[in-house]
């Protein structure tokens, strides 16, 4: 082999060259043809190591790793169009898995090799790949978690079956896949929950608001409730979801999330979900399938919390307060305010993220900011939804448009010094745009998210685009969640009012369909009547 060929091999095998003597290197490369392929060098090196004629025993493995690095660096990165459409995770196309008889070899490729742990004779695998985000080359001894992730993807295994066979739940296995994708060994396919191309793209609206990586099912598993609030949206008589139906629904949701390439979240609600006789069993079934879990409910005992946390700690627990003590107790029942404050302290003891929601009306609008002051050291988050004048709220009133705008101005100002206050109402984005401040995701991360990254499921199987207004789009006893989500009526709710379609902040706004409904408007045509955007 001439100098040109030798230079090429030095480029491919720099660390191997350093561990070989000059005489051995020349002997191994000198007998090769100028156009020899790297595998020929590997074969010669292996023979040298096996014969004990000078090459360290680990040298062939080191060279194999360097060849894999070279190939990862020079590979073209592209994801299969088909796989990105049908699978949540796929292999990084630049990935190479190298079987080795020695460990710690990747450390020899480091500039700090003199201080590294020496090679250890122990069988395993080394993985190399090009990070799709940075272009950097990763080289590492493959962990058991990574090998499991690769096996799941290559063999297209169902996570539920993997979990069952390993006596685990789906969630830690899913997290292993997610971690491998974050590092770059796997490629996470983009979400298939996306806003249509006709959606306006204002210059202030970030791209991430046009698709969602998470889908939430707000599941009202029971109508049973230990309260009787004066603004309750729905006191209709519906049977509890049965345990067998609940399991079938969770399997439907799992299939939906897999088909849409999203992470699933189940937000348990009611009524009070703890009053469902099988709540703990249903909660565990949801956890077993790898969903993130949350609770929208009322204060419960420490024992009830312990039962849930022993299965999986919820990502948040949301309770409601309707104002200061006198008004909250008037709306939700005597003693509710103090019980809720005590419960917030209990959530802190369990290290559960606490959220407090208020239903805003003309009566309690002046109590929001004072209540935020009381909650500053007690809750992790406090925000509000505007009243929906449905159900038992028929005789209640919303604030006037200008009064509401003044309130939002004060709310934004207060939020600068009280970090418990969080923006949720879509119309706040109008003020942020006018103030040239960054926009936020609106009600559920993508403006009005009715039937977009969110569905509401009632205990009898009815599916609604939004819980705050009658918006029935199907029933899981008659159709799958995928069929309901992909239906024409669900698409109408996703599009929202046609009057909003020309607005440059529509992806993070769209007003509130429930408020428009409360005023008797055509929610598919007419916008939120409290919208104050300048025309």
> How many CB atoms within 10 Å of residue 287?
21
- Taking the C-alpha atoms of residue 286 and residue 246, their distance in angstroms, rounded to an integer, is 9
The reported pLDDT for the residue numbered 86 is 52
pLDDT at position 112, please? 53
Per DSSP, which regions of 387-471 are E strands?
Answer: 454-457, 462-464
Residues 268-317 pLDDT 10s: 999 999 999 999 999 999 999 999 999 999 999 999 999 999 999 999 99
Q: What is the pLDDT of residue 1?
A: 63
Region for residue 408 given its phi and psi (left: phi exceeds 0; alpha: psi -120 to 50; beta: otherwise): alpha
So what's the pLDDT on residue 82? Answer: 40
Backbone angle region of 520, left / alpha / beta, with phi > 0 → left and psi within -120 to 50 → alpha: left
User: What are the CA-CA distances from residue 486 to residues 119, 196, 410, 452, 490 (Å)?
Assistant: 55, 13, 40, 10, 7
Angle between helices 3-12 and 22-30 (to 10 degrees): 110
Query: Structure pTM?
Result: 0.85
Q: Which residue numbers in the chain have pLDDT < 70?
A: 1, 77-86, 111-115, 203, 535
Separation CA 263–CA 88 (nearest Å): 9
Q: What is the pLDDT of residue 85?
A: 42
Length of the chain: 535
Report how far residue 232's alpha carbon sits from residue 41's, in angstroms, rounded to the nearest whole number.
Answer: 76
Question: Could you tell me the two tokens for 494?
Answer: 């996703």
pLDDT of residue 84: 41
Q: Of 486, 484, 452, 490, nearest to 471 (Cα)?
A: 490
């Amino acid at each position: 082999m001439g100098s040109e060929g030798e230079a090429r091999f030095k480029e491919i095998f720099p660390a191997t060259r350093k561990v070989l003597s000059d005489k051995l290197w020349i002997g191994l490369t000198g007998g090769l043809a100028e156009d020899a392929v790297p595998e020929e060098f590997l074969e010669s090196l292996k023979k040298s190591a096996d014969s004990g004629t000078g090459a360290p025993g680990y040298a062939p493995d080191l060279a194999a790793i360097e060849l894999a690095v070279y190939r990862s660096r020079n590979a073209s990165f592209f994801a299969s169009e088909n796989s990105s459409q049908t699978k949540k995770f796929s292999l990084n196309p630049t990935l190479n898995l190298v079987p080795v008889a020695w460990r710690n070899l990747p450390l020899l490729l480091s500039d700090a090799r003199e201080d590294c742990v020496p090679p250890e004779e122990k069988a395993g695998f080394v993985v190399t790949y090009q990070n799709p985000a940075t272009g950097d080359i990763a080289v590492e001894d493959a962990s058991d978690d990574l090998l499991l992730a690769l096996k799941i993807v290559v063999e297209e295994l169902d996570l539920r079956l993997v979990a069952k066979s390993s006596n685990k739940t789906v969630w830690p296995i899913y997290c292993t896949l997610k971690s491998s994708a974050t590092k770059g060994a796997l490629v996470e396919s983009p979400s298939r929950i996306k806003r249509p191309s006709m959606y306006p793209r204002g210059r202030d609206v970030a791209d991430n608001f046009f698709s969602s990586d998470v889908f939430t099912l707000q599941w009202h598993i029971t109508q049973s409730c230990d309260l009787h609030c004066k603004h309750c949206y729905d006191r209709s008589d519906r049977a509890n979801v049965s345990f067998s139906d609940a399991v079938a629904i969770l399997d439907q949701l799992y299939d939906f999330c897999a088909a849409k390439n999203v992470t699933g979240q189940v937000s348990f609600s009611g009524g009070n979900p703890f009053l469902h006789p099988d709540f703990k069993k249903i909660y565990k079934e949801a956890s077993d399938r790898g969903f993130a879990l949350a609770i929208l409910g009322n204060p419960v005992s420490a024992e009830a919390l312990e039962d849930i946390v022993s299965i999986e700690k919820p990502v948040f627990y949301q309770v409601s307060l309707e104002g200061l003590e006198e008004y909250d107790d008037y709306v939700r029942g005597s003693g509710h305010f103090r019980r809720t404050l005590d419960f917030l302290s209990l959530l802190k003891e369990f290290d559960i993220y606490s959220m407090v929601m208020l239903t805003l009306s003309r009566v309690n609008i002046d109590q929001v900011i004072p209540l935020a002051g009381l909650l500053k050291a007690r809750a992790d988050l406090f925000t509000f939804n505007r009243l929906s004048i449905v159900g038992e709220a028929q005789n209640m009133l919303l604030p006037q448009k200008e009064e509401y705008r003044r309130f939002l101005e004060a709310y934004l100002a207060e939020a600068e010094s009280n970090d418990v206050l969080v923006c949720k109402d879509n119309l706040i984005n109008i003020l942020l745009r006018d103030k040239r401040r960054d926009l936020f995701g609106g009600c559920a991360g993508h403006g009005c998210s009715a039937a977009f990254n969110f569905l509401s499921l009632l205990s009898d199987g009815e599916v609604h685009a939004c819980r705050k207004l009658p918006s029935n789009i199907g029933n899981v006893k008659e159709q799958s969640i995928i069929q309901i989500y992909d239906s024409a009526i669900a698409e109408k709710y996703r599009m929202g009012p046609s009057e909003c379609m020309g607005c440059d902040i529509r992806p993070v706004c769209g007003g509130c369909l429930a408020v428009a409904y409360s005023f008797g408007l055509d929610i598919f045509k007419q916008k939120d009547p409290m919208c104050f955007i300048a025309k």
